[in-house]
Amino acid sequence: MARALIFPGQGSQTVGMGQALAEAFPGAREVFEEVDDALGRNLSALMWDGPMEELTLTANAQPALMAHSIAMLRVLQKEAGLDVENAMFVAGHSLGEYSALCAAGALSLAQTAKLLRTRGEAMQASVPAGEGAMAALIGADLGTAQKAIDGAKGEGVCEIANDNAPGQVVISGAKTRVEAVCAGAKEFGIKMAKLLPVSAPFHSSLMQPAADVMAKALEKAEIKAPKLPLVANVTAQEVVAPGEIRNLLVQQVTGRVRWTESVGYMESKGCDKFVEIGTGKVLAGLVKRIAKEAQMISVGEPGDIDAFVKF
Catalytic residues: 94, 203
Q: How far is CA 38 from CA 17, 88, 208, 265, 309, in A?
A: 19, 30, 26, 35, 32
Contact 122, 214 (CB under 8 A): yes
> Alpha-carbon distance 195 to 61, whole Å?
19
Longest dimension (CA), the chain: 55
Residue of 131, 132, 133, 115 whose CA lies nearest to 213: 115
